[in-house]
Amino acid sequence: MQVITSPQAMTAWSLEQWAAGRRVGFVPTMGYLHQGHASLVDLAGNHADQVVVSIYVNPLQFGPDEDLDRYPRDTQGDLATCERHGAAVVFMPSTLYPPGFGTSVSVPGLSQGLCGANRPGHFEGVATVVARLFGIVRPHMAVFGEKDFQQLAIIQRMTEDLALGVEIVPGPLVRDADGLALSSRNRYLGPDQRRRALSLSRALRAMRASKLPQVAALRQLGLDLLEVDELDYLEVVCARSLEPLEHLDRPARAVLAARVGSTRLIDGMALEPRP
């Protein structure tokens, strides 16, 4: 496994793979890798000959009061995980934005609600870094986790709208044995906070198990189970357009963001249509 830090060297490596007829798979991350990330590396390996994992904590996607400065890092652990899961390259640039960088990519419709409403500018930062990473890494395909469902929809839209020619493959959400969605931010949680954080997946599971077709009643069922300090949103949205639904008459997703202590957690679950 190679570690590449320069964007030019990264592109040169990738162009060699293209020339040799090898398919390049890509998994963009911010590091502090867990089993959820590792599952995306495995998935990329099923779709490509060589897998590139990028590790870059992208300042553009953090708001002024967010955790950019204390975002957890573990370079040695991350490299070991990538190696174990068969990555060919770990791309770890010290910065991605050269002097004079002046472009922002926005996908306004899909970025408006949900996390976009609570994190102004976040999805522009995500779309911009992913567009630039695609330009540097030149992947044939890339994997994005369904844990960040709105992000996945935005990347799919951007890739199609800008004809970037990258196949986007969704990776299923991976949970801990107790149901908590794996996240690099879980390490911020103290024992009592972690206990209360389990109420996110419990609420979603109850919503999925209920037979209620009306979203208002379904939502109330979930709200009653939450033990969080602050709720950003709990919505039931169309799985394709992310529009809020009133009735579960098409494939949907229950999506949820909340704070436990100062840690912001997100989670989501697919809901089948109910006639």
Residue pair 131/164 in contact (Cβ under 8 Å)? The answer is yes
Q: What share of the chain is helix, strand, coil (3-state, %, to 5)?
A: 40, 20, 35
**Which span (46-54, 116-124, 166-174, 265-273) binds ligand AMP, by CB under 6 A?**
166-174
The verdict on 62 binding ligand AMP (CB under 6 A) reads no
The least CB distance from residue 100 to ligand AMP, in Å, is 26
Beta-sheet pairing, 24-29 with 50-55: parallel
**Out of 25, 139, 171, 268, which residue is the one contacting ligand AMP (CB under 6 A)?**
171
CB 257 within 8 A of CB 148: no
In eight-state DSSP terms, residue 22 is: P
Residue with smaller CB distance to ligand AMP, 56 or 219:
56
Residue holding tokens 């009643």? 217
Closest to ligand AMP by CB, 74 vs 214, is: 74
134 is an interface residue for ligand AMP by CB under 6 A: no
Whether 37 is catalytic: yes
Specify the 3-state DSSP secondary structure of 236. strand
Sorted by sequence, the CB contacts under 8 Å of residue 93 that are 6+ apart come out as 5, 6, 7, 10, 54, 56
Contacts (CB under 6 A) with ligand AMP, residues 91-130: none
Residue in 41, 173, 248, 256 binding ligand AMP, rule: CB under 6 A: 173
Among 36, 125, 139, 268, interactor with ligand AMP by CB under 6 A: 36
Backbone angles phi, psi at 231, to 5 degrees: -100, 125
Task: Give the CA dihedral 39, 75, 197, 42, nearest 10 degrees.
Answer: 0
Residue 197 lies near ligand AMP (rule: CB under 6 A): no
One of 128, 184, 199, 263 touching ligand AMP (CB under 6 A): 184
Sole binder of ligand AMP in the list 144, 159, 219, 232 (CB under 6 A): 144
Q: List contacts with ligand AMP (CB under 6 A).
A: 29-30, 36-37, 39-40, 144-145, 147-148, 171, 173-174, 181-184
Please give the positions annotated as active site: 37
